[in-house]
Structure 1
Amino acid sequence: MTSLNPRAPRPTRRALLGGLLGAASLPALAACGGVTSLKGGSDDGGSGGGSSAGGLVVGTANFTENQILGYLYAEALRGAGVKASVRPNLGSREIVIPALQQGDIDLLPEYQGNLLLHFDDTAKQTEAGDLQNALTVALPGSLEALPYAAAEDKDVFAVTKETADRYGLRSLADLHRLDGKLVFGGPAEDKKRVVGLVGLKNVYGTTFKEFKSLDASGPLVKGALKKGDVDVANLFSTDPDIQANGWIILADPKQLIPAQHIVPVVRGAKADAKVRRALARLGGSLTTDELAKLNKLVDVEKKDPDEVAADWVKRNGLAKR
């Protein structure tokens, strides 16, 4: 089993965004069956069968917002008297979920709809409550989805205003008229994901001239969209560059993209009452607008995600007194 050292120093923003930090060394792990306990939106903390006595290691995926969320989780846990460290930028869901299952990390910020589709690519739920209930069944028995946050960040498919005007694009359904003529850009995982090329083909009947493997709402895909190297880009709805550049988010009339509220996924062995209460308090305070502001502080104003998270937790009364 690969060991992730929870005592490693917290890296600077440049180090965080520089690579996968050896994520390729994390072995894949088959999902085990089972049903977890879920409390819906309750913030009563739950009784919990686990113990946080040894502390928790929070892992994150390889994009800015998820790193911010990881540091928010850690700060909120510390505020509740739970030891916590962060292992940021580990890679895509295909890497971090196995790391969570095998115990290299204990806690992960996730997104409801895409997480469900990772375990069940036939899932049809789109509403937040239905998704949370479905996660109860879909998650491996060792994992639990805690109550989801008010904040939501959805995948979106965006084009420049020039492209939208040239081809009359306002909806994902419009792409079918240009089948096989446009270039799509996004993270490598989009080739096999339902909220990606698979779903665009199956739900909207759309294929593309070319797929360019870039990053997840990061500088590569956004730079390619600006330059015209890609026509359609997979971005995140809280990305401040969408509004700043006047990009057009294509509507999703057939609801390919499910609700994506932020949801903590934790190993049940660590989920005691203190952990549950701390993350429920955080989730109740974190709105979509607040999350977008935090993204801007890191992506635009170039602040370190750990410092941004620590300041937000303190300002919102969640830090240790």
Structure 2
Amino acid sequence: MHRIHSPLGVLALAVSSLLLLSGCAGGPAGGSRAGHAEREPAVIGTDGSAESRVVAAIYRELLTAAGQKARTADTAYASPTHTAQAVVDGEISVAPAYESTMLRALPGGQTLPGNMEATLSMALPPGIVALPAAAAQRGLVVAVTEATADRYGLRGLDDLGAVKDRLTLGGPASGDPGAPSAASVKKAYGVTLTPAGTSRTADVLVLRSSDPALARGGLVVLGDPESVVPPEHVFPLISAPAVDATGRAALARVNGPLTTGQLATLAASVEAGEAPGKAARTWLRAQGLLR
């Protein structure tokens, strides 16, 4: 057995033991603090649209308020599909994503009807998480003028079956991926519509939910009980290591207040020249989500 004869040796051993015990006792908490301090900022990507830019700004404000560092990527991606792929590839940490667009970007996944959250979860690779979606949709809507709605008693696409006149189907978003066609409407609702391309004078209009024509009024958005129009609710797509539990809870706070109408108003402000960050902060404070 080795003996320490020097008083200095005994003192050194005692100090070393004390430091070791102190490190063990305080290690987990200290390590957690250091890890939090050294966490790289979450990089939030967007496409070039006003909707994506303002939602990304909302995410950034919420994460920052929750104590997590976050910044917006320097350049925008070409489309929501490219932005989502950038999260999957590890180029960015967070992005606003949209349900059906996401599924089109990840073909081959099993679909659970009526359970988009589970469908996305199965389609995404390990480590990439689709957080719960907000009420807001950036997708498509089917609408008619108030005069057409009153004339035929239209409140949903299912009401078209009682219409005796031959109506046309078109609108500026009629060529978008996922836009309902005359064939899909007939299959779902048994009504024959005449295709009218991108004409804004069609009787039944396919529009983007952020189309200024909806904000101006005079149009009635028709219900779609058979889901001919695919859902496009906005949700945060994240790389799991990049956003901790506190950050995820902060992002979830926007789910209820952010409606399609609110998103359209925010996007219109950004398109008119307001900075996305300013629009996001103003809206979050008005909703009581930010001080």
Normalising by the smaller structure, the TM-score range is 0.5 to 0.7
Q: Distance in 2 between matches of 1:177 and 1:63?
A: 40
Matches within 5 A, 1:58-77: 58-77=44-63
Matches within 5 A, 1:1-321: 53-79=39-65, 80-86=67-73, 90-112=77-99, 115-116=102-103, 119=106, 123=111, 125-126=113-114, 130-151=115-136, 155-161=140-146, 170-173=155-158, 174=160, 181-186=168-173, 188-190=175-177, 193=178, 195-197=179-181, 199-200=184-185, 203-204=188-189, 209-212=195-198, 225=200, 228=201, 232-236=205-209, 241-257=213-229, 260-283=232-255, 286=258, 290-298=262-270, 302-314=273-285
Aligned length: 250
CA contact (8 A) 1:101 1:267 kept: yes
Q: Which has the larger radius of gyration?
A: 2
CA contact (8 A) 2:112 2:118 kept: no
Percent identical among aligned pairs is 29
Normalising by structure 2, report the TM-score: 0.65
Larger RCO, structures 1/2 (Cα 8 Å, 6+ apart): 1
Q: Distance in 2 between matches of 1:246 and 1:196?
A: 22
Q: Distance in 1 between matches of 2:83 and 2:174?
A: 15
1:154 is displaced (CA, Å) by 5.5
Q: Distance in 2 between matches of 1:155 and 1:181?
A: 17
Q: Distance in 1 between matches of 2:131 and 2:55?
A: 15
1:279 counterpart SS class: helix
Amino acid at match of 1:78: T
CA contact (8 A) 2:52 2:96 kept: yes
Amino acid at match of 1:141: P
Q: Where does the alignment leave 5 or more consecutive residues of structure 2 unmatched?
A: 1-34
Q: Distance in 1 between matches of 2:224 and 2:273?
A: 32
CA contact (8 A) 1:60 1:87 kept: no
> CA separation of 1:231/1:199 partners in 2, compared to 1, >3 Å: closer, same or farther?
closer
> CA separation of 1:243/1:273 partners in 2, compared to 1, >3 Å: closer, same or farther?
closer
Amino acid at match of 1:172: L
Q: Where does the alignment leave 5 or more consecutive residues of structure 1 unmatched?
A: 1-49, 213-223
Question: CA RMSD, aligned part only?
Answer: 4.0
Normalising by structure 1, report the TM-score: 0.60
